[in-house]
Amino acid sequence: MGLLDHVNSAVSGAKSHVKPSKEDRPPEGAAADDTEELDEESGNILMSLIGQLRIGMDLSKVTLPTFVLEPRSMLERITDFMSHPDLIFGAGQNDDVERRFLQVTQYYLSGWHIKPKGVKKPYNPVLGEFFRCSYNYPNGTKGHFIAEQVSHHPPISAYYYISPENNLLIYGELKPKSKFLGNSAATLIGGENRVVLLDRLEDGEYQIGMCNQYARGILFGKMVLELGDTSRVHNVANDIACDVEFKTKGYFTGTYNAIAGKVTHKGKTIGEITGKWNEAMEFKNSQTGQTEELFDAKKANIVQKEVIPESEQEEFESRRLWSKVTEGIKEKNLDKATESKTAIEEHQRQLVREREEKGETWTPRFFVQKGEKFFPNMDAVAEEYRPQAAVDYFAKHQG
What domains lie within the chain, and their CATH numbers? Answer: 3-398 (2.40.160.120)
Q: Are 239 and 266 within 8 A, CB to CB?
A: yes
CB 75 within 8 A of CB 149: yes
pLDDT in tens, 72-82: 999 999 999 88
Residue 66: its pLDDT value, please?
Answer: 59
**pTM of the shown model:** 0.84
pLDDT category at 322 given cuts 50, 70, 90 is very high
pLDDT above 90 (res 145): yes
User: Quick one: average pLDDT of 191-217?
Assistant: 93
Q: How are beta strands 156-163 and 142-151 bridged, if at all?
A: antiparallel
Q: Looking at residues 166-193, what average pLDDT do you find?
A: 88
What's the pLDDT score for residue 12?
A: 36
Among residues 226, 222, 150, 221, the alpha carbon closest in space to that of 191 is found at 150
Asked if the model's pLDDT at residue 121 lies above 70, the reply is yes
Tell me which of 217 and 153 has the higher pLDDT: 153
Choice between 283 and 10, residue whose per-residue pLDDT is larger:
283
Residue 374 — very low, low, confident or very high, per pLDDT cuts 50/70/90? very high
- Distance separating alpha carbons of residues 367 and 147, to the nearest angstrom: 9
Q: Is the pLDDT of residue 11 over 70?
A: no
- Name the 3-class secondary structure at 332: coil
Element (H, E) at 392: helix 388-398
pLDDT band at 62 (very low <50, low <70, confident <90, very high): low
More confident residue, 268 or 251: 268
Q: Please, what is the angle between helix 3-18 and helix 40-50, to 10°?
A: 170
Between 136 and 114, residue with greater pLDDT: 136
**Number of residues written out for the chain:** 399
Angle among Cα 313, 317, 318 to the nearest 5 degrees reads 125
As a whole number, the mean pLDDT across the chain is 84
Better-predicted residue by pLDDT, 225 or 394: 394
Query: pLDDT tens for residues 252-300?
Result: 456 788 999 999 999 999 999 999 999 999 999 999 999 999 999 988 8
Give bridge partners of residue 178 from the DSSP assignment. 187
Give the confidence band of 117 by pLDDT, cuts at 50, 70, 90.
low
Q: How far apart are CA 216 and CA 293, in angstroms?
A: 30
Q: Is the confidence at residue 175, as pLDDT, over 50?
A: yes
CA pair distance 198, 218, nearest whole angstrom: 45
193 forms beta bridges with 172, 208
pLDDT in tens, 15-59: 334 343 333 444 555 565 555 444 444 455 455 555 555 666 665
Which has more pLDDT, 41 or 97?
97
Which of 254, 258, 286 is closest to 270 using CA atoms? 286
SS3 for 211-279, per residue?
CEEEEECCCCCCEEEEEEEEEEEEECCCCEEEEEEECCCCCCCCCCCEEEEEEEECCEEEEEEEEECCC
Report how far Cα 309 is from the mean position of its chain's Cα atoms. 24
In this structure, are residues 321 and 126 in contact, taking their beta carbons and an 8 Å threshold? yes
Residue 1 in this model has a pLDDT that exceeds 60: no
**pLDDT in the model for residue 114:** 80
The pLDDT value given to residue 177: 86
Residue range 388-397: mean pLDDT, rounded: 95
Nearest-5° Cα angle at 319, 316 to 324? 95
**According to the model, what pLDDT value does residue 282 have?**
96
Distance CA 187, CA 178 (A): 4
Q: Which of 30, 54, 213, 46 is nearest to 121 (CA)?
A: 213
Between vectors from CA 120 to CA 55 and to CA 108, what angle results, nearest 5°? 100
Tell me what percent of the residues of the chain surpass a pLDDT of 90.
59
**Least confidently predicted of 205-219, 233-247, 316-330:** 205-219
Residue 181 has pLDDT above 80, yes or no: no
pLDDT value of residue 49: 54
